[in-house]
Amino acid sequence: MKISVLGCGRWGSFIAWYLTQRGHHVTSWGPEEDFSYQILKTTGRNEYVALDPKIRLTCDLREAVEHGEIIVISISAQGLRGFMKRVTQFDVAKKTFVLCMKGIEVETGKRLSEVLVESGISPQHIAVWVGPGHIQSFVQGVPNCMVIDSANDGLKRELVHAFKSDLIRFYYGNDLLGTEIGAAAKNVMGIAAGVLDVICPPLKGALMSRGAREVARLIKAMGGNELSAYGLAHLGDYETTLFSHYSHNRMYGELLAKDQRFDKLAEGVSTSKAMKFLGEKYKVELPITEAVYTVCYGRGDDAKRCREELTKLFKRPERAEISE
C-alpha cells in the first residue's frame, strides 16, 4: 500500500518505520520548521528510530497527501481541526484516514473521528489505531496488542490484515465511541498514577478499578458500550500508561506532585478538561477526572494541590464497590 504518515514526532516516526517494515511504500511528513522533521532530515534518525532509506521524508504536505492511499495522522490532538483545514485543500475524496492519536477536542468535547467528519471526511473512510505499547519497547522487539476501530467494518478488517505482524497483534474494535473515549481517558488516569507514585503508590490498584468504572459510566452515557472501558483501548493500556517510566502522562503527574515541570506533551492534561466538559454535559460524576483537572489547571503550590485533591477523593461518601 501507499501510505503517508503525517507527523514525524515520537509516534509518527515509529509508525513510518513500522509500516515500512511491513512492506508498504511510506512517505513521512513533518513541517519544515519543526524540530522532529529537522532532526530526521539532518541526521537520519531521532532518539527512537533510524529513518529507513525506503521512507520518503518530505515537508511538502501536498506531496504527502497525494502520495498516500492511506493517510495516517499522528499529531497533537488539539491541533487536528486546524490541520485538517490544510489537508482538505487537496483532493482527499478517495483517501482513507487512520488516526493514531488519542484525545478529545477541548472546545467542543468532540472525539477526533468526529472532528474529521466535520472536516468533510466520510465516516466510511475513517479508522482509529490505539492501544498499549511504547515505541522504546517495540523497537527492542517487545510485542504488544493494539486495536483498530472504524464505523466501516470492512475497512478495519482490511487495515488489521495490512498492518498486523509478529510485533503487533491487532484486534477489531466494535465500538468506535467507546474506543476513542477510552483511549483518550487512559491518559488522564496516567497523570493520576504519576501523582500517586509520589504520594501513595499502593492506591494505584484502586485507581485502576475506579478509573475504569468512571470511564465506563461516561461511555455508556454518551451512547457507547461501557464494556469498551475494560478493553485494550483503556484498561488494557493501563500498564504502559500508569506504570511505565516511558509514559509521558505518568511522568507529568509525578513531577507535578513534586512541584516540578514536565517539558514534553502529555495529552492527559487537555483531555482532563475535555472530559470534565463531557461529564457536565452528560451528567456523569467523574471524581478522578475532576481531581486531575484541578491539579493540572489549578494555581499555587502543585504538590500541595495534589495532596489536597487526594484527600477530597478519600472523603467522598461511601458507596457499593461493584455498582458505582
Q: Which of 176, 207, 205, 189 is nearest to 275 (CA)?
A: 189
Please state which CATH class domain 2-172 belongs to: alpha beta
Angle (CA) 60 46 38, round 5°: 35
**Helix, strand or coil for residue 225?**
coil
- Which helix (H) or strand (E) segment is 280 a member of? helix 268-281
How far, in Å, CA of 114 to CA of 102, rounded?
Answer: 13
Name the DSSP letter for residue 241: I
pLDDT at 322 (0 to 100): 64
The string of DSSP codes covering 62-107 is HHHHHH-SEEEE-S-GGGHHHHHHHHTTS--TT-EEEE----B-TT
How do the domains of the chain map onto residue ranges? 2-172, 176-314
Structure pTM? Answer: 0.95
How far, in Å, CA of 130 to CA of 5, rounded?
Answer: 15
pLDDT at 115 (0 to 100): 98
Spatial CB neighbours of 177, under 8 Å, sequence gap ≥ 6: 111, 219, 222, 223, 224, 228
Query: Using alpha carbons only, how large is the chain's radius of gyration in Å?
Result: 19
Name the DSSP letter for residue 236: G
Give the distance from CA 74 to its chain's centroid: 9
Low-confidence ranges of the chain (pLDDT < 50): none
CATH 2.30.40.10 fits 176-314, yes or no: no
How far, in Å, CA of 242 to CA of 90, rounded?
Answer: 40
pLDDT at 315 (0 to 100): 86
Spatial CB neighbours of 196, under 8 Å, sequence gap ≥ 6: 203, 204, 207, 253, 310
Task: Give the three cell numbers for residue 226.
Answer: 461501557
Task: Give the three cell numbers for residue 98.
Answer: 487512520
**171: which strand partners?**
147
**146: which strand partners?**
170
Q: Which of 23, 145, 16, 153 is nearest to 71 (CA)?
A: 16
**Helix, strand or coil for residue 54?**
coil
- Is residue 214 left, alpha or beta, with left meaning phi > 0 and alpha meaning psi from -120 to 50? alpha
